[in-house]
Amino acid sequence: MTLDVGDKAPDFDLPTDGGGSVKLSDLKGKPVVIYFYPKDMTPGCTTESCEFRDAEPDFSAVNAQIIGISKDSADRHDKFKAKHDLNFILASDENSTTCEDYGTWTEKSMYGKKFMGIERSTFVIDGDGVIRNVWRKVKVKNHVAEVLAAVKAL
């Protein structure tokens, strides 16, 4: 499935760091930034998460909620969050359902081997649950600034 700008964002209810859970429909009325990333504790994912951490006050200033989603367990998210002092929700999609719903669970290739994995992607969802921006195959450098500008433009 491929989602695009103007589509209704699929709802989800996922376990999070800290033993909690997050349901997209519970965040109605506020902008939501969902970024899908391959794996906790890896260089690119750590850089991206730390950039969202550093910009979180700017997102909060416009009432936006940041949610990072990967297939890592909620326990692993706890470790990742503590190690890097992350200040937003990390949700666990261990069975890939939400990744599939958002079209981020894709075939990848490394050193000639094909495998399934998360395509680094970001979605900005408005307060009505409609997708307003989509970035796929995200390059980490300057990405968070682009996302913040998109949220501020809502």
Instruction: Please pick, among 9, 32, 45, 90, the residue that the annotation labels catalytic.
Output: 45
d(CA 154, CA 26) in angstroms, rounded, equals 19
Known catalytic membership, residue 99: no
Residues annotated catalytic, as ranges: 45
